[in-house]
Chains A and B, each alone.
Chain A
């Protein structure tokens, strides 16, 4: 099955520093990748949708200058949390889809294992 690798799985950083999270599709080409944030005991919230070679589309309320997304290749997307603050501490999860044209195939998202970010 399709595998999505996320790295690192856990990161602790000081307030004001930037953190980069990588999301890789290991055995398929991901035309679209998604970045989610999940706070404790809450559901996943979509932050942005990223298509290879184009600018990411951010959800309402998500600061694009703070959460920089780069999708430079069909197998890699990165999320950089710039000038991180304690309120950015959360569980960040990426997913990837092949974006196939058939009705069901285009909707299958494969999730990474997540990255726990703790900002001190």
Chain B
């Protein structure tokens, strides 16, 4: 079972509409949770990063929430644009991994398609 699960797998919305993507994780303890946007054939680009003590973080039209008690996070996209079409990946930094840098556990992503 994947330690980071995302839903839905894919989503189609009309331009201008809002949407919310979900992430459930079992990684514990964790250092931080991030949301990345990955365009097809490109590397991931960071949208937000939250430590376990933060509940919400915004970056423009993107707002991420975190509930460390229920181990859930969401990414809300407001007033969607065609350029928002991409895969959105939830990533949890695993504190159990040794070394100077935590290991990142990636979700399988939600593929978002914004249609005109």
Does B113 sit within 8 A of A, measured CB to CB?
A: no
Inter-chain contact total with CB atoms closer than 8 Å? 62
Which stretch (A13-21, A68-76, A80-88, A97-105) binds chain B? Answer: A97-105
List of A residues within 8 angstroms of B103 by Cβ:
46
Asked if A99 and B100 sit within 8 Å, CB to CB, the answer is: yes
Q: How far is the CB of A64 from chain B (nearest CB, A)?
A: 17
> Is B14 an interface residue when CB atoms closer than 8 A count as contact?
no
Instruction: Name B9's closest neighbour in chain A (CB-CB).
Output: A41
Assess whether A47 is interfacial by the CB under 8 Å rule: no
Write out the residue numbers on chain B whose beta carbons fall within 8 Å of the beta carbon of A116.
Answer: 41
**In the complex, residue of chain B having the shortest beta-carbon distance to the beta carbon of A59:** B103
B71 → A minimal CB distance (Å): 18
B interface with A by C-beta (< 8 Å): 2, 31-32, 36, 41-46, 49, 51, 89, 93, 99-104, 106-109
Known contacts A32-B101, A49-B99, then 11 further A-B pairs from the complex at CB < 8 Å, ordered by chain A residue: A32-B99, A34-B104, A43-B106, A43-B107, A93-B44, A103-B31, A103-B51, A106-B100, A108-B49, A111-B44, A114-B41
